[in-house]
Amino acid sequence: MPNDRGGSVARRSRLPAPRPSVVALSGRPSRAEAEAAVRTLIRWAGDDPSREGLVDTPSRVVRAYEEFFAGYESEPAEILRRTFEETDGYDEMVVLKDIRFESHCEHHMVPILGKAHVAYIPNGRVVGLSKLNRVVDFFARRPQVQERLTMQIAEELKNVLKTDDVAVYIDARHMCVQARGVEHHGASTITAEYSGKFLNENTKQEFLMAINSKMPD
């Protein structure tokens, strides 16, 4: 896999990604139970959850988790439901780059901070550009591993746009690497999925050049 933007490259399995769907939770804990769990963790860390600075922390943490993991609240197809067929025959790649996202590592529940670059070649239909941002954000707002995040975005675009010609490239920093364990500050991880025409080396290089290009001053 080309590594034209620096960082380490995570190689993924060629097994097909599971169809993305909202996780059905049976017996989901109540807000009170979630807040009690946070108080338990505070006590486990060695502090007093009843002291002034921490007394409201459990409710704040639960509200934060609602934002962090909002990707379970709907289906991604709803985001991409409206497509447009009046493209006047446009059949070159559409690229949206530098989509900033924040996710959380499912192994340590610490942030993954990165950028996604997404491209597709229309097959008679296009989607509003802002919807591409929202699809990235939708899948990022779950406990994740970067390899799965890359595949979920690609598979959803292929399913909705009815095209195999999709590319997704993610460059991210993992706080589980930088803030704990080996503490390798500055290390980044790159994952990519290319399908359809993007498997052609010329098309892939055109995509990589596009996401590396800068706007003229």
- Least Cα distance to 174 among 109, 117, 118, 99 occurs for 109
Single out the catalytic residue among 78, 106, 184, 205.
Answer: 106
Single out the catalytic residue among 35, 144, 152, 174.
Answer: 174
d(CA 209, CA 164): 21
Single out the catalytic residue among 35, 104, 146, 152.
Answer: 146
Active site residue 174: yes
Single out the catalytic residue among 66, 102, 105, 147.
Answer: 105
d(CA 53, CA 58): 11
Active site residue 205: no
Say if CB 12 and CB 151 are below 8 A apart.
yes
Single out the catalytic residue among 33, 73, 75, 107.
Answer: 107
Single out the catalytic residue among 66, 108, 147, 206.
Answer: 108
Single out the catalytic residue among 66, 102, 147, 176.
Answer: 176
The three-point CA angle 163-169-171 to 5° equals 160
Active site residue 147: no
Active site residue 106: yes
Residues annotated as catalytic are 105-108, 146, 174, 176
